[in-house]
């Protein structure tokens, strides 16, 4: 077969092969990988079926006309994410690249927003905690298409401190971004006595709000350590002596105002019977639980959260991920 005959055979009848291409396989590969046309569009141009174009693209790879390379940085992060899933029994993990420490919260929020947006379906009820990272997720989330029947619910009580990333603000912002019904929890995070908590939670409006919290099928939350500069201490939810007491009893992390030790077990204390919000045993019953957290100062807290099985999905940065995977750290 002559070259001209072969070129004609490689494209549809009545179609002319451009002079710069050797055959239809090369032309199809160029249109797909360089011009970034769809396989359907290429099929129309070449006068062939889409199935034939698929075969042409496969032949282009087999003949070495096309070489597909994955960026080593991306490949490394994918490998680390898979190791995180295996080590901690996660359903999913997203690891972002290294960057400026000052922008870590924003970058984690953007990644968490992308992951969460992919998970949300029509009719979902999304539980929202609080904190800088959760706020960054809420601020950057957007859905590819409008979904009906979405509800965003606050899962921890309110606090007058840190209003810029309070539970009610995080909840309100996310509901606005995804055009969902917003339900704020109409109670303080910490009450003065256990008796007051029992009385308040028996109110019909709060009973209904907690029923909604218990129907949550997706939860997004962050993790805090309980060192001297931690967010939970600056929120003035309780006294410094209260936090010191939990720390003295082995607490290394705070998870939606609940304290856990290195193994992920809850550390009980005087505040628990006065705290308003989702309990840890309720949290783990939520089908999808997205933890968004990173930074060297939070490695111990994040590991405790993973050890306790509180997350089904983790969004973190590469440095934190590598420390989480390291033994004895």
All domains of the chain in start order, with CATH: 3-62 (1.10.10), 72-325 (3.40.50.1360)
- Report whether 243 contacts 237 (CB < 8 A): no
**Angle of helix 50-62 versus helix 24-33 axis, rounded to 10:** 90
Query: b vs e for 142-178, b when ≥16 Cβ sit within 10 Å of the residue's Cβ?
Result: eeeeeeeebbbbbbbbbbeebeebbbbbbbbbbbebb
Q: What is the pLDDT of residues 206-242, one digit of tens each?
A: 999 999 999 999 999 999 888 766 666 666 666 778 8
User: What pLDDT is stored for residue 215 in this prediction?
Assistant: 95
Which residues 6+ apart lie within 8 Å of 224 measured at CB?
A: 131, 230, 231, 232, 253, 254, 255, 298, 301
- Report whether 277 contacts 156 (CB < 8 A): yes
Count other Cβ atoms within 10 Å, centred on residue 327.
Answer: 4
Given a cut of 60, is residue 77 above it in pLDDT? yes
Cα dihedral sign for 224, 225, 231, 237?
Answer: positive
DSSP code string of 253-271? EEETTEEE-TTS-B---TT
Q: Per-residue confidence at 88, pLDDT binned at 50, 70, 90?
A: very high
User: What pLDDT is stored for residue 289 in this prediction?
Assistant: 98
Which residue's entry shows tokens 């490998």? 79
For residue 34, the SS3 value is: coil
For residue 81, what are its two tokens? 């994410």
Whole-prediction pTM = 0.78
Please report, to the nearest 10 degrees, the dihedral formed by the alpha carbons of residues 285, 251, 223, 127 taken in order: 30
């Amino acid at each position: 077969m002559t070259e001209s005959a072969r070129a004609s055979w490689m494209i549809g009848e009545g179609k002319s092969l451009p002079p710069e291409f050797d055959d239809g396989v090369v032309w199809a590969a160029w249109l797909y990988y360089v011009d970034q046309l769809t396989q359907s569009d290429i099929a129309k141009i070449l006068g062939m079926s889409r199935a034939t174009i698929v075969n042409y693209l496969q032949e282009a790879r087999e003949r070495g006309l096309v070489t597909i390379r994955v960026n080593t940085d991306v490949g490394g992060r994918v490998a680390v994410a898979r190791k995180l899933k295996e080590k901690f029994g996660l359903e999913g993990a997203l690891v972002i690249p290294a960057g400026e420490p000052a922008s870590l919260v924003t970058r984690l929020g953007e990644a968490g927003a992308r992951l969460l947006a992919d998970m949300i379906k029509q009719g979902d009820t999304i539980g929202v905690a609080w904190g800088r990272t959760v706020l960054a997720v809420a601020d950057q989330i957007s859905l590819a298409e409008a979904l009906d029947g979405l509800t965003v619910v606050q899962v921890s009580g309110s606090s007058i401190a840190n209003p810029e990333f309070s539970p009610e603000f995080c909840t309100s912002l996310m509901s606005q971004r995804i055009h969902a019904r917003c339900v704020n929890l109409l109670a303080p995070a910490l009450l003065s006595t256990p008796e007051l908590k029992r009385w308040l939670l028996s109110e019909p409006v709060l009973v209904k709000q907690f029923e909604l919290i218990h129907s949550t099928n997706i939860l997004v939350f962050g993790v805090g350590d309980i060192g001297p500069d931690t967010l939970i201490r600056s929120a003035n939810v309780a006294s410094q002596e209260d936090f010191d007491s939990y720390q003295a009893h082995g607490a290394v992390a705070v998870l939606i105002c609940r304290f856990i030790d290195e193994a992920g077990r809850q550390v009980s204390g005087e505040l628990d019977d006065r705290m308003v919000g989702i309990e840890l045993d309720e949290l783990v019953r939520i089908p999808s639980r997205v933890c968004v957290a990173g930074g060297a100062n939070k490695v111990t807290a994040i590991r405790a959260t993973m050890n306790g099985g509180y997350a089904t999905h983790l969004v973190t940065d590469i440095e934190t991920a590598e420390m989480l995977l390291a033994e004895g750290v």
